[in-house]
Chains A and B, each alone.
Chain A
């Protein structure tokens, strides 16, 4: 047991961000110890970046249950409203449920006020849900989008339910490997192409080092004009085995 534990410390590069460790499922596998039986996790890399004109959201596509990749091409970027999106990390079930609630409340609000909701409002709703139910959730979310009041904005909502407005945000298990890279390379008011290049590079690097991240890179560009969804397939990543 002790040998197994020390192996976990070196081969699992980061401690779990689980807040529920005390009553976590104590199964055999180290990877699934924090999950409920059979639950799948989006051990993940997600990122959102403000640029001149809007916001870019980016995510890997691996969904894992322990060492088994349940879905290698999932879409972790969910739409909350016309120009508001969010990246999901943590428990897939929890983040899907949260996304559904926020989408519902935003739609109601848009009908009542007769105007597109602000990204700030979407982030606030998400954060209220994450905070009030923090004991039962494991969800790290990045909300990003465009609205006529503030233009492009990014809000990071980590475990526990804080809501932090930022020029760029990264999240998920893979994000720990790229803090330095993104801190060094991010600049304010980049062009769309510069920002796209940055997110793809950063997420590629994370996917190369994090076992729970992989697959393809999905990107979403949200501007006043509309949304552009795109992806980079696994053999064309800017950095990784194919790119060496």
Chain B
């Protein structure tokens, strides 16, 4: 799987003969080996979730090593990969949001914040002695001017897109498969009722449960380290302010998720038993 750079991978300012910059791809690898980060754009808000592997038993969990940060009242960021790189990005995002507000007197629009971070992260992929960020960043934000909420993800190469559902890190492939099953795409959810195209989408309450379930499903007890789940939301219920999902809501979601997974496992083993009888 690992492609040989054979000399074209020593610097991020070198293209390979087939038009790749290996350093950027290696940076993406750093993200791929890290804990899963998920984002979901729901009808009434955006939910972010990160699987935080607990390095050792001495760690004070729940409050240190946060992977989700608030950038401004109306915007939050989740990261996975090199968390120290991620901190740098969070600081930059806060500066961008703050200076935009100071200059223009309004909150930075989500699209603008994402593209400023894009430009910043991209800068590190082609400038002299700098190395690319080994971190993918999910940006959840609300735009008071248009009353629209959105989710963006910025990758180590500097590309950023807007998503209905975004996943980065170890379990991103299966996570994407699971997310596609959810009603988060206005076009396919088929809503053009009174509420508009977002009508038939799931709510953040549902989104919290679904993301918890995805993270727990993806987590392999035998292979991966024990982990902690970190979640935040930005929704109508929080008056469009980015906040951590309350502990009781999270606990409920985790309990529900574990039950669902158990039931699904039971069904599977029942099916297997049936087959074997034949």
B residues 86-112 touching A (CB-CB < 8 Å): 103-106, 109, 111-112
Q: Are A124 and B105 in contact (CB under 8 A)?
A: yes
Q: Are B105 and A123 in contact (CB under 8 A)?
A: yes
Q: Are A113 and B111 in contact (CB under 8 A)?
A: yes
Contact of A121 among B104, B111, B112, B115 (CB under 8 A): B104
Bound Cα distance A114, B111 (Å): 10
B residues 119-148 touching A (CB-CB < 8 Å): 145-146
Bound Cα distance A72, B234 (Å): 56
For residue B145, which residues in chain A have a CB less than 8 angstroms away from its CB?
115, 118, 149
> At the interface, is chain A mostly helix, strand, loop or mixed?
helix
For residue A109, which residues in chain B have a CB less than 8 angstroms away from its CB?
104
A residues 87-120 touching B (CB-CB < 8 Å): 105, 109, 112-115, 117-118, 120
How many residues on the B side are at the interface (Cβ–Cβ under 8 A)?
Answer: 10
Bound Cα distance A120, B104 (Å): 8
Q: Which residue of A lies closest to B145 (CB)?
A: A149
Bound Cα distance A231, B244 (Å): 57
For residue A105, which residues in chain B have a CB less than 8 angstroms away from its CB?
103
Q: Are B104 and A124 in contact (CB under 8 A)?
A: yes
Q: Which residue of B lies closest to A106 (CB)?
A: B104
Q: Are A125 and B103 in contact (CB under 8 A)?
A: yes
For residue A114, which residues in chain B have a CB less than 8 angstroms away from its CB?
111
How many residues on the A side are at the interface (Cβ–Cβ under 8 A)?
Answer: 15
Bound Cα distance A123, B106 (Å): 11
Does A128 sit within 8 A of B, measured CB to CB?
yes
Bound Cα distance A113, B115 (Å): 10
Q: Are B105 and A113 in contact (CB under 8 A)?
A: no
For residue A124, which residues in chain B have a CB less than 8 angstroms away from its CB?
103-106
For residue A121, which residues in chain B have a CB less than 8 angstroms away from its CB?
104-106
Chain A 125-145, CB within 8 Å of chain B: the 1/0 string?
A: 100100000000000000000
Bound Cα distance A118, B104 (Å): 10
For residue A128, which residues in chain B have a CB less than 8 angstroms away from its CB?
103
Smallest Cβ distance from A124 to chain B, in angstroms?
Answer: 3
Bound Cα distance A206, B126 (Å): 62
Q: Which residue of A lies closest to B112 (CB)?
A: A113
Q: Which residue of A lies closest to B101 (CB)?
A: A124
For residue B109, which residues in chain A have a CB less than 8 angstroms away from its CB?
113, 115
Q: Which residue of A lies closest to B147 (CB)?
A: A149
Bound Cα distance A112, B114 (Å): 12
Q: Are B103 and A118 in contact (CB under 8 A)?
A: no
- When A and B form their complex, which 9 residue pairs have the shortest distance between CB atoms, in order from nearest? A124-B105, A121-B104, A149-B145, A113-B112, A113-B109, A121-B105, A121-B106, A120-B105, A124-B104
Starting from the known contacts A113-B112, A118-B106, A149-B146, 7 additional A-B residue pairs (CB-CB under 8 Å) come to A112-B115, A113-B111, A115-B145, A117-B104, A121-B105, A124-B106, A125-B103
Can you list 19 contacts pairing A with B, beta carbon distance less than 8 Å? Answer: A109-B104, A112-B115, A113-B109, A115-B109, A115-B146, A118-B106, A120-B105, A120-B106, A121-B104, A121-B105, A121-B106, A123-B105, A124-B104, A124-B105, A125-B104, A125-B105, A128-B103, A149-B145, A149-B146
